[in-house]
């Protein structure tokens, strides 16, 4: 059901993109808009992983340079029946992680130094299992497509404001200026809401599959609680400069305090932890428990 919902939302984004193209240039504008979207997505398909990893200054590691992290990913990839992804470390104090790549054969997972420093071995395994779940579900490609279309919608919406008046039936363009203004404001907002809805949908599914891959739902539950608290207290300057990449991380790297509101890139941590504890058959406690004293 979540996959069907995702593709319905992507179709909605594409339709919105084409509608703005039509507003600007009629049928020809709609076709041009579709061609531009296709070209942008083709570029993103081949280059998005390199762009994001470079943006965050990620450095590739191996079994010699980062034996603990590499070993965790290697074991989990085998459990998930996935090709071994490339492994990267980002020099950033905020504990966080993300996956990227156009398919499982060309995937990469990245963890920050803050994550490796502040989380236990088991919690790191839970996080990496979550990221491998994104790879297995091909979420990285879906997220790239939605981010690209959403960005293009923002660009076209600005064009609609300045040139949409040319569609006025009297030729003076004045009648459509208000429409152009509304499109400029509302279209990017609608695109952003759809993008966030897709991200939240995929995060829940990656939590579930990640718990299945690791075999220990409570590892990820504990990690999410620690990551949530740390991300709110520690800055991620690169993410703040590039907010369009926020949806890629396991927890929101931005200092936006919304939880399950319309403008949140991620589901609330409490909801995610609750679902993971349900998978483990352990109820939500009134006080933080000792996660490692229980069997998941």
Among all residues, which ones are annotated catalytic? Answer: 131
User: Can you tell me the distance from the alpha carbon of 250 to that of 233, in angstroms, rounded to the nearest whole number?
Assistant: 16
Distance CA(293)–CA(272), nearest Å, equals: 21
The Cα 292–Cα 296 span in angstroms is 9
The span from the CA of 36 to the CA of 213, in Å, is: 38
- Closest by CA position to 248, among listed 61, 120, 96: 96
Q: Can you tell me the distance from the alpha carbon of 141 to that of 98, in angstroms, rounded to the nearest whole number?
A: 13
Strand-pairing partners, residue 89, are 59, 111
Neighbour-count burial for 188-207, b at 16+ CB within 10 Å, e otherwise: bebbbebbbbbbbbbbebbb
Q: Please, what's the b/e burial string for 117-148 (b: 16 or more CB within 10 A of its CB; e: otherwise)?
A: ebbeebbbbbbbbbbbbbbbbbbbbbbbbbbb
Give the whole-angstrom CA distance, residue 236 versus residue 253. Answer: 6
Neighbours of 243 (CB within 10 A): 13
How would you class 256 by CB atoms within 10 Å of its CB: exposed for 0-12, middle for 13-18, buried for 19 or more?
middle
Residue with tokens 């926020």: 246
């Amino acid at each position: 059901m979540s996959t069907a919902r995702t593709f319905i939302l992507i179709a909605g984004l594409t339709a919105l993109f084409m509608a703005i193209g039509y507003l600007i240039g009629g049928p020809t504008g709609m076709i041009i808009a579709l061609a531009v979207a296709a070209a942008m997505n083709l570029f993103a398909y081949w280059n998005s992983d390199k762009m994001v990893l470079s943006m965050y200054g990620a450095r590739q590691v191996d079994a010699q340079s980062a034996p603990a992290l590499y070993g965790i990913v290697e074991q989990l990839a085998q459990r998930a029946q996935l090709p071994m992804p490339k492994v990267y470390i980002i020099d950033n104090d905020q504990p966080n992680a993300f996956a990227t790549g156009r398919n499982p054969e060309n995937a990469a997972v990245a963890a920050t130094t803050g994550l490796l420093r502040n989380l236990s071995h088991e919690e790191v395994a839970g996080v990496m299992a979550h990221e491998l779940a994104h790879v297995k579900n091909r979420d990285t490609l879906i997220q790239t497509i939605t981010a690209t279309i959403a960005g293009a919608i923002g660009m076209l919406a600005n064009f609609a404001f300045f040139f949409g008046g040319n569609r006025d039936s009297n030729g003076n363009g004045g009648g459509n200026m208000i429409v152009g203004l509304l499109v400029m404001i509302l279209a990017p907002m609608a695109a952003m809401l759809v993008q966030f809805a897709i991200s939240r949908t995929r995060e829940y599914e990656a939590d579930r599959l990640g718990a299945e891959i690791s075999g220990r739902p409570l590892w990820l539950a504990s990690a999410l609680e620690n990551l949530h608290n740390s991300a709110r207290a520690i800055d991620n300057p690169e993410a703040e400069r590039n907010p369009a990449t926020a949806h890629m991380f396991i927890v929101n790297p931005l200092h936006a305090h919304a939880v399950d509101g319309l403008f949140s890139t991620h589901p609330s941590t409490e909801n995610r932890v609750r679902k993971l504890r349900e998978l483990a058959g352990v109820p939500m406690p009134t006080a933080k428990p000792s996660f490692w004293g229980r069997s998941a």
